[in-house]
């Protein structure tokens, strides 16, 4: 009972966005009291507010996704704006001009909100689902490796040592331990040496990734480097899913690899093989396959989303080379 009494609500700003704007008439006069309905097209959930005396409205803490905004007021034509894609942490500013109408009339406009951030000084990069699926992120398909393709990010800066978990990088010269990794708005950091602790090797479960490298809001904190927030997909009113098969192999042209070589050995492996007098292949077979599925349990209310991944990685390591034995036989 004491725990319940002392509970406080937690707002998940790190997984949501906002839609705001101004409603005016054709003479650019502010319209107060107009009804503003913001509807999530994917889940058919909606939220309604009204414009203030300055004609402004704001719908905060909206889940990321596709939205439709409807403005209604007696004496004006109903205005519908669709095609709005809300990203995590985005403050989408959408302004409306209502047209006077003597009869019932509806004006429908399709167009996304401007991508230029005019509401704060945050500096960052957004990776949507298309970029997540198409950008090269390493042979392990580690989602957090996306940070290495962002401006201002270096895998290792001068004078620093790599001593953190997972993907290690420096953002704008900060320490490699200075990065905060988040999964759906929750910290996922190694409590001992820093770095991420939750592996993410399945891009198909990711809706978008937001990497903030400077001037992030006070809601984040914790570290002085970058903020990397991975948002996973969720269910919608329609069933949707994916299937994937990732293959990585490298080897000699022969029956054991099917005559296909997709990835070369690194120089250390090659040197170790030459020293040992062997001609072998480090990677012999690596497959990642699986899929995702999401959909409604109760349309407009409850949804599900799940994924499966199977990873097979058979390989030979280079090991060590013995150079100090007195004779060839001893070696």
Predicted confidence (pLDDT) per residue in 106-138, tens digit? 778 777 777 677 777 778 888 988 888 888 887
* pLDDT, position 283: 55
In what helix (H) or strand (E) does residue 270 lie, and over which residues does it extend? helix 267-275
Residue range(s) occupied by CATH 2.60.40.1120 in the chain: 12-110
**Could you tell me what percent of the chain has a pLDDT over 70?**
81
Rank 66-75, 263-272, 317-326 by mean pLDDT and report only the highest.
66-75
CATH for 12-110 (3.40.50.2000, 2.60.40.1120, 3.40.50.300, 3.40.50.970): 2.60.40.1120
Considering the chain, what is the average pLDDT of its residues? Answer: 82
Q: What is the mean pLDDT of residues 89-110?
A: 83
Residue range(s) occupied by CATH 2.170.130.10 in the chain: 123-232
Q: Which two tokens stand for residue 192?
A: 């001992």
> Which comes out higher in pLDDT, residue 263 or 290?
290
Q: Is 244 helix (H, G, I), strand (E, B) or coil?
A: strand
* pLDDT, position 11: 44
Q: Is the pLDDT of residue 158 over 60?
A: no
> Which comes out higher in pLDDT, residue 296 or 329?
296
Q: Is the pLDDT of residue 167 over 50?
A: yes
Q: Is the pLDDT of residue 7 over 70?
A: no
Q: What is the mean pLDDT of residues 290-305?
A: 93
Question: What band does 5 get if pLDDT is binned at 50, 70 and 90?
Answer: low
Topology annotation, domain 123-232 = Ferric Hydroxamate Uptake Protein; Chain A, domain 1 (2.170.130)
Question: How far is 133 from 127, CA to CA, in rounded Å?
Answer: 10
Q: Report pLDDT digits (tens) over 229-251.
A: 999 999 999 999 999 998 877 65
Q: What is the mean pLDDT of residues 211-226?
A: 82
* pLDDT, position 281: 53
Q: Is the pLDDT of residue 150 over 60?
A: yes
Q: What is the mean pLDDT of residues 61-78?
A: 92
Question: How far is 86 from 43, CA to CA, in rounded Å?
Answer: 14
Q: Report pLDDT digits (tens) over 173-204.
A: 888 888 999 999 888 888 888 888 888 889 99
| CA proximity to 145, closest of 85, 195, 100, 205 | 195
In what helix (H) or strand (E) does residue 91 lie, and over which residues does it extend? strand 91-93
φ, ψ at 92 (rounded to 5°): -75, 120
Q: Which two tokens stand for residue 138?
A: 């390493």
């Amino acid at each position: 009972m004491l725990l319940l009494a002392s509970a406080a609500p937690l707002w998940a700003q790190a997984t949501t966005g906002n839609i705001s704007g101004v409603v005016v008439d054709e003479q650019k006069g502010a319209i107060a009291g107009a009804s503003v309905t913001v509807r999530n097209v994917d889940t058919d959930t909606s939220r309604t507010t009204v414009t203030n005396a300055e004609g402004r409205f704001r719908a905060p803490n909206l889940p990321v996704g596709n939205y439709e905004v409807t403005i209604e007021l007696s004496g004006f034509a109903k205005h519908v704006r669709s095609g709005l894609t809300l990203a995590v942490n985005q403050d989408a500013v959408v302004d409306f001009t209502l047209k006077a109408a003597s009869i019932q009339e509806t004006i429908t406009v399709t167009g996304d909100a401007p991508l230029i951030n005019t509401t704060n000084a945050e500096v960052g990069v957004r990776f949507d689902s298309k970029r997540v699926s198409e950008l090269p992120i390493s042979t392990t398909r580690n989602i957090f490796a996306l940070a290495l393709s962002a401006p201002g990010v270096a895998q290792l800066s001068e004078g620093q040592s790599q001593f953190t978990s997972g993907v290690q990088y420096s953002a704008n010269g900060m320490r490699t331990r200075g990065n905060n990794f988040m999964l759906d708005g929750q910290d996922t950091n190694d409590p001992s040496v820093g770095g991420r602790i939750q592996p993410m090797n399945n891009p198909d479960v990711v809706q978008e990734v937001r990497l903030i490298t400077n001037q992030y809001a006070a809601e984040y904190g914790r570290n002085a480097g970058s903020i990397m927030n991975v948002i996973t997909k969720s269910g919608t009113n329609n069933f949707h899913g994916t299937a994937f098969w990732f293959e990585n192999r490298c080897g000699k042209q022969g029956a054991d690899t099917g005559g296909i070589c997709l990835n070369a050995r690194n120089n250390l492996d090659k040197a170790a093989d030459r020293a040992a007098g062997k001609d072998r292949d480090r990677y012999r077979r690596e497959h990642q396959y699986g899929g995702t599925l999401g959909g409604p349990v109760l349309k407009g209310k409850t949804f599900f989303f799940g994924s499966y991944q199977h990873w097979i990685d058979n390989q030979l390591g280079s090991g060590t080379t013995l150079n100090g034995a007195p004779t060839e036989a001893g070696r």
